[in-house]
Structure formats: C-alpha cells, structure tokens
Amino acid sequence: MNDDDENVKIAKVGQKVRGSKTGQPIMILFDLLGRRWAMGIIWNLSAQNCTFRELQARCDSLSPTVLNTRLKELRAANLVEKAQHGYGLTAEGTKLFKMLEPLGDWSYEWTDMLAE
Amino acid sequence: MNDDDENVKIAKVGQKVRGSKTGQPIMILFDLLGRRWAMGIIWNLSAQNCTFRELQARCDSLSPTVLNTRLKELRAANLVEKAQHGYGLTAEGTKLFKMLEPLGDWSYEWTDMLAE
DNA sequence: GTTTTTGCTACTAAAACAATAGCACGGCAT
DNA sequence: ATGCCGTGCTATTGTTTTAGTAGCAAAAAC
C-alpha cells in the first residue's frame, strides 16, 4: 500500500483544468466529477465503506485501472480516504454526497417522464 | 436545423448503461452527467440562454463536435431545448440545476481546503 | 445581394476508459 | 513454515471519447 500519489492531477484554483482555462472552483469540481464513475463511487461509498473489490462489484465490475485512478483522484481531492474496512468518504466527501442525494429521488421522476 | 436525433443514446430504466447493467435511474443520470462538459453546459445555460457559439465560448471553446453531441444528449434527456435565443434549460433542466446550485458555493470552500 | 454570423459536419490526433491477466503481500489454517 | 486464499493493485492491449482544426450550408444582418 503506497501513498506516494504525487502524480495525481487535480487542478488548483486559477489553473487551467482539462479544457478550462479559467479554473473556477465549480469547473474544477465538474472536471473531477465529470469522469467516468466518479459520482457512482461516491454514491456507493455513502451507503457503506467498501474494499477495493467490493467497490468494483458494486460499480458493476468497472476495471481496476479506472477504479484505482478514480480513487487516487478522489483521495487527492480529500473526498475519499482509506478506512478501517477498505475505503470510505471523508467529512467533506459526505458533505458533497448530501448535496448529491436529492438527485436520487429526482432521477426517478426524470426517467418516468422520459419513458412517456 | 434538423431534429431527427434518433441515434442519440440515453439509456432507459432497466437497460444497461455504459458499464452499468442494473440501470437504476441514478446511474443513468450519472452516466449522462458524467460526460465531459455536461454539467458545465447546464451550469452556463442556467445563467442565460446561449447560442451554439456563445456556449462554446463560455465553455472555454470546447470543440463543436463534443458540444453538439452533448446538446443532442441533453435534449434527448429533456433537460435542454432550443429557445428563442439559442439554447436554454427546460423546466426539468432548471429543476436539476437548482439541485446542483449548492455545489457552487461549496466548491469554493472545498478548493480553499485543498489549497492548505 | 453581399457580407456576417450561426449551427453544424468531417477529419485526425490524443486521451480516457474497458477488459483481461496476473503479481506481491498479508492473514491464517495446517 | 508452507500452502492457500482474499485483497490491492500494476501491466498490457484494444476500443471509445474527447480535443482540435477546417470549413460549408443556411439564416440573418446590412
């Protein structure tokens, strides 16, 4: 278990993000969350802490390559951390989840509407 | 201006999404929003309706290819629609934005914390 | 009726992601 | 102590997305 993730790139404020030169906080956040499985990982960890392989299973067997990349990013962003049992959300990560939570209910009415 | 976007793929409930076989609404939503610039487009349109090229400029000159793809997807998802002046959010799109809005303020404290 | 602007397609290159195999390490039972 | 298992993770290769640039047809402005 090495913790030398010096080469994980999370943009800093003012820096240009993947395709965004302004580097406003919200765009840095969207850049981070707008990556495959990022929000799904947070969503799953909110339910309960998971080991690497449990997370993989819950996220419908996403490849370990991507999972590991996302975990490094989310840890660098201080949203996820290693816990007693595998990985878990940090305090900030939980805050973020609380804000995403309403999407859960809304997504049902949204897909219902789309189905019509 | 053609509107025959029959080949835009937004998953239906129960269907397997890009990498998700369960097809829960929240995962369909995350699949959609977890694409480059999807949330950024919604964010920008919430401020004011934009033409194609205005949107491009606001989203830091993202390529027209991607912008057009995202617009088709978001229109198929009934979150964005053509308006008098360019594109705008639908009623549902505005609802979604309202839920994302808190992220704006939080992102500042988050990046501040990361900077320490 | 010519010049702009707008929405968009075509094409190519780079980056991200998916899929599979498998290794190193820790626990644990024998 | 040794063989077995689960866990975290890297390596490799192939596919999909995204980026970047050029430019065209239709509408709008003049």
Give, in Å, how far the C1' of D12 lies from the CA of A63: 13
Average pLDDT over residues B16-32: 75
**Which amino acid is residue B114, in one-letter code?**
L
Q: Do B10 and A35 touch (CB under 8 A)?
A: no
A15 within some domain: no
A7 within some domain: no
Number of domain units in chain A: 1
CATH number of the structural domain spanning residue A42:
1.10.10.10
The two structure tokens encoding residue A32:
């981070």
B78 within some domain: yes
Picking from A43, A78, A95, the nearest residue to B114 by CB comes out as A78
Instruction: List phi, psi (to 5°) of A64.
Output: -60, -30
The mean pLDDT value of chain A amounts to 85
At A1, is the pLDDT very low, low, confident or very high (cuts 50, 70, 90)? very low
Give, in Å, how far the C1' of D6 lies from the CA of A50: 14
Judged against a pLDDT cut of 70, whether residue B8 lies above it is answered with no
Q: Do A34 and B30 touch (CB under 8 A)?
A: no
A104 within some domain: yes
Chain C nucleotides with an atom closer than 7 Å to a protein C-beta: 5-11, 16-22
- Contact between B37 and B70 (Cβ < 8 Å): yes
At B11, is the pLDDT very low, low, confident or very high (cuts 50, 70, 90)? low
Picking from A29, A103, A114, the nearest residue to B99 by CB comes out as A103
B57 within some domain: yes
B103 within some domain: yes
Instruction: List phi, psi (to 5°) of B88.
Output: -150, 170
- Contact between B71 and B87 (Cβ < 8 Å): yes
- Please report which helix (H) or strand (E) contains residue A112, including its range: helix A102-115
Higher-confidence residue: B13 or A42?
Answer: A42
pLDDT tens digits along B39-97: 999 999 999 999 999 999 998 879 999 999 999 999 999 999 998 888 999 999 999 99
Q: So what's the pLDDT on residue A116?
A: 81
Give, in Å, how far the C1' of D15 lies from the CA of A13: 33
A13 within some domain: no
Q: So what's the pLDDT on residue A9?
A: 61
A18 within some domain: no
Average pLDDT over residues B92-106: 96
Higher-confidence residue: B84 or A46?
Answer: A46
Q: What is the residue range of A52's domain? A: 25-115
Q: Which of A69-73, A78-82, A107-111, B11-15 is predicted least confidently?
A: B11-15
At A94, is the pLDDT very low, low, confident or very high (cuts 50, 70, 90)? very high
Instruction: List phi, psi (to 5°) of A11.
Output: -70, 150
Please report where in the chains the tokens 């219902």 appear, as a residue. A112
Judged against a pLDDT cut of 80, whether residue B102 lies above it is answered with yes
